[in-house]
Amino acid sequence: MRLRQAWNQCSNLFAAHKVENGRATARLLLMHLMQYTFTQFITSLEQELAPAAIAELQQLSQQIVLGKPLQYITGQQEFMGLNFDVDENVLIPRPETELLVSAVLTKLNCHNQIKIADIGTGSGAVIISLATKIKQAVCTAVDISKAALAVARKNARRHQVAERITFLQGDLLNPLLPAVEKFHIIVSNPPYLSTDRMKSLPLNVRQEPALALYGGVDGLDCYRRLTADAPKLLKNGGHLLVEIDCNQAKAVASLFKANKFLEIEILSDYAGLDRIVVGKCQK
């Protein structure tokens, strides 16, 4: 079988099983299998595939049909123009989370040695992107999962920022309390899906760690704790920035208000959905 035919067969299989972006997913799977760049792939369409490659393609495409995200097969996801290692222990970084990184960048007014904490770091995509962009940043990344922290540490080494990020295992802000040092920025993409939303997750999202997705009955548990504890850890004038589910903006903004944050803003993502809440800590 030629590469072109394998691509078509795989695309048809994905279309029949309603895999999102089936043709692109089939191409990316084949590129991974053949270790090809896009150009190598496009210029090799008439190449005959070895029987072993065909067998592997069949096996991997079945895994995708059963809901395994492509990124857990390739072990890679691009975020903010950087490639990150991912595995089943971490959430796959989403394009809309890039907005969280951009929002942090707009809140910085050229501090020397800016101190940033990322709570629930997962793959480390947010804090590592920030560390690569702000060379003088001193960063802390917290996650409750030891396995996730191992992925984040690997990514930090991959992007040469490991010496500027302290990784701590623990539950939300707990490992930073009582506050010994204060942060200019606390950023978090916490688990925020409600019990109801967890029940209606697409097959592929169900393969991601529930620990990174489930935010309690109404999805707001982490925001209650973050908004209550962050003021103890932020400098005067520092900011808390969180990603939210699109229907949580009002509730999360109220929590910011109840905990005396000022200049509360709700930012929308590229789809026009509420996605980020920001507040300033004034003491």
**Least spacing, CB of residue 230 vs ligand GLN, in Å:** 17
Distance in Å, CB of 212 to ligand GLN, minimum: 6
> What is the DSSP secondary-structure string of 118-163?
EES-TTSHHHHHHHHH-TT-EEEEEES-HHHHHHHHHHHHHTT-GG
233 vs 30: CA distance, rounded Å:
47
Q: What span, in angstroms and rounded, lies between the C-alpha atoms of 97 and 223? A: 17
Give the largest Cα separation in the chain, rounded. Answer: 68
Distance CA 182, CA 274 (A): 29
CB 174, min distance to ligand GLN, A = 19
Comparing CB distances to ligand GLN, the nearer of 12 and 202 is 202
CA–CA distance from 108 to each of 18, 115, 137, 158 (Å)? 43, 10, 11, 25
Q: How far is the CB of 99 from ligand GLN (least distance, A)?
A: 12
Residues 227 to 246: which contact ligand GLN by CB under 6 A? none
- For the CB of residue 163, give the shortest distance to ligand GLN in the complex, in Å: 28
Binding mask of the shown chain, residues 160 to 199, with x at each position contacting ligand GLN by CB under 6 A = -----------------------------xxxxx------
Sequence-ordered list of residues with C-beta below 8 angstroms from that of 250, at least 6 positions apart, any chain:
none
The minimum distance between CB 129 and ligand GLN, in angstroms, equals 16
Residue with smaller CB distance to ligand GLN, 121 or 189: 189
Is 267 a binding residue for ligand GLN by CB under 6 A? The answer is no
Alpha carbons 53 and 14: distance in angstroms, whole number: 18
Site for ligand GLN in 46-105 (CB under 6 A): 91, 94
DSSP characters over 46-102: TPBPPHHHHHHHHHHHHHHHTT--HHHHH-EEEETTEEEE--TTSPPPPGGGHHHHH
Complex with ligand GLN: residue 10 or 19, whichever CB lies closer: 19
Binding site for ligand GLN (CB under 6 A): 91, 94, 189-193, 205, 213
